[in-house]
Structure 1
Amino acid sequence: MKELLRKVRRLEVKTRRMVETTFAGEYHSAFKGQGLEFDEVRPYQYGDDIRSIDWNVTAKTGEVYIKQFREEREQTLFVLFDVSGSEDFGPGQENKLLIGTEIAAILAFSALKNNDKIGLLTFSDQVERFFKPQKGRKHVLKVVRTLLTHEHEHDQTNIQLALDYVKRTLKRHGILIVISDFLDQGFERSLIHLNKKHEVILIRLFHPNERFQMGAGTIPVLDIETGRRRWLNAGDIGYRKLLNENFEEIDQRLQRLCRRYRMGYIPVNTREDYFPVLERYFRQRNRL
């Protein structure tokens, strides 16, 4: 338990330092409020829009009052994090699962600083853990603990299953961020459907050595010719050739999908510093 608390604290210190410097501001600016909410009434002044007159208060007081509104800032940020077998790739600080955990923590602490709700779903070929969106530091730390204590149980992945689960449970508008290597197929329709109601951003994690990976274990790859997902042993003769083709095809396919349906796309090479990549994306998003 003490070791877990130390891990949580180290991750909090590392990610909060990033958040406190510049990222929280980029996050705050990138996601606008979903309209206006009532703030207060005040006496009418010359030049005010008569459509803002509060007729009930005006009738009660005998003086003309208008309604004032403010931007509704509260958001719901929901992170879908792929924890399947293919995510556990890369040495040390280049590990995809580790980098994904840090990115999810940065997003969670940014939401906390912005007073937003944060929710989490971890998945493989099934839903592993689900936290409904809530506010507060206690909730964020619970989310971070879950990310750090995940134990690898399932090699395969099913992105469509995770998206459909969120579609059933997340009723209000939110910002959906999917963190995965996207070694899967058949999830596009569900993603497009969610994008009609929510803001969707895909963060694709990859390590350049994946295309040359040799070793044991079952790895999901997409057969470009058939469009089907295949689970191959890493020692299979044709494994490296198929994986190399998939490596480039996945990126191109996601770029086309996101460009067509106006979804966000952030490719993250886990061998490189990911923070400038995130910062650059959200800064550019602010200008749109």
Structure 2
Amino acid sequence: MKPYLMAEPALRRLELTITRRLDGLLQGEHLGLLPGPGSEPAETRPYQPGDDVRRMDWNVTARTNEPHVRDLVADRELEIWALLDATASMDFGTAAMEKRELALSALAAIGFLTQRTGNRIGTHMLHGGGVRTLPARTGRPHLMALLQAAFALPRTRPGVAEPLLGVAAEQLGRVVRRRGLMVVVSDFLDAPETWELPLRKLTARHQVLAVEVLDPRELALPNVGILTLIDPETGRRREVATSNARLRRRYAEAAEAQRDAISQAMRRAGATHLRLRTDRDWVRDLVKHVMRQRRLAALAATPVLSTRPRTDGPPRGGDVA
């Protein structure tokens, strides 16, 4: 059974927390970016003839001695776009699954977590044949068809030229104009300078979740004697004496430096970073990430009371004497 089908019952009980105001959100479950009819309060403004008096903000009115009303945030459906890396470097795995399979499972998780009435999801699938785009549409049949198309992508033969992740991200930014949630699922093994700027451009307009998938053998070499290594993208082979402790240490240090560079590039780009491993319970890691984002969103929404006493008069609401 495919991993995304096994994980569906757990994933459907969750929802991704969107921490920024997005243009196109669903029925009050998420905050929209543009003011309009809705149920969530936004900014106050002076009253104008014709405004609904039921939206009068009496606290601001009393403080300013001028009638003020509070706008509402528009509630619309969420639009999700996923950039799925299915290049040759993803056809690798030494634990419970290949990186490609983990990436597809993550895509399925995003679809199940954000599947609501009116929500639309589309994909850019990056593989040896180029970039394949499936338009954003609603409904479970579309989501299942999208997942089936992703799972059916052919493997890329070694040595076949493939587009870079940064190029695909730039294409996605040009195609998608409406603000929404962008999910980039990849091992991010391309040089960070090739994808950091395109990712930053996406975060300037959208909420971006970067899902990094990796295998434990990419972090450390086992001591198994002579090991033949094959580059899945170029087909180059090299024999390595893994019994050499110095070689294993240098490999681990280089791998750690590479992952640090990836994390720093994502941080500079402003993307939310989620790391999934083929040797871990990826569903549990995803749940932890969602719950952590929920707590951060709740803290950001909690008003902070001043703890400094006022010196220009008696205490008032919001001050602690």
How far apart, CA to CA, are the structure 1 residues paired with 2:277 and 2:253? 17
The answer to which structure has the higher helix fraction is 1
Distance 1:30 1:204, change over 3 A: same
Q: How many angstroms does 1:196 deviate by?
A: 0.8
How far apart, CA to CA, are the structure 2 residues paired with 1:117 and 1:246? 40
Correspondence list, 1:217-232, <5 A:
217-219=230-232
How far apart, CA to CA, are the structure 2 residues paired with 1:189 and 1:78? 18
Q: How many angstroms does 1:115 deviate by?
A: 3.5
How far apart, CA to CA, are the structure 1 residues paired with 2:251 and 2:286? 26
How far apart, CA to CA, are the structure 2 residues paired with 1:140 and 1:52? 46
Distance 1:114 1:107, change over 3 A: farther
Correspondence list, 1:47-86, <5 A:
50-51=47-48, 53-54=50-51, 69=72, 71-86=74-89
Correspondence list, 1:108-127, <5 A:
108-113=111-116, 115-124=118-127, 127=130
User: Given the two structures, how large is their TM-score scaled by the length of structure 1?
Assistant: 0.74
Identity of aligned residues (%): 17
Q: How many angstroms does 1:170 deviate by?
A: 0.7
Distance 1:154 1:74, change over 3 A: farther
Match of residue 223 from structure 1: none
How far apart, CA to CA, are the structure 1 residues paired with 2:282 and 2:199? 24
User: Given the two structures, how large is their TM-score scaled by the length of structure 2?
Assistant: 0.67
How far apart, CA to CA, are the structure 1 residues paired with 2:38 and 2:205? 26
Q: Partner amino acid for 1:285? A: Q
* 1:163-211 Cα shifts (integer Å, max 9, x gaps): 1110221111121111111110111111112211111111111111134
Match of residue 252 from structure 1: 260
How far apart, CA to CA, are the structure 2 residues paired with 1:52 and 1:12? 54
2:156 paired residue among 153, 156, 162: 153
Match of residue 11 from structure 2: 19
Match of residue 108 from structure 2: 105
Distance 1:243 1:140, change over 3 A: farther
- Structure 1 unaligned regions, length at least 5: 1-6, 41-48, 56-65, 221-230
1:176 aligns with 2:182: yes
How far apart, CA to CA, are the structure 1 residues paired with 2:111 and 2:205? 21
Q: Partner amino acid for 1:96? A: K
SS at match of 1:109: helix
Q: How many angstroms does 1:157 deviate by?
A: 5.5
RMSD: 3.2
Q: How many angstroms does 1:271 deviate by?
A: 0.3
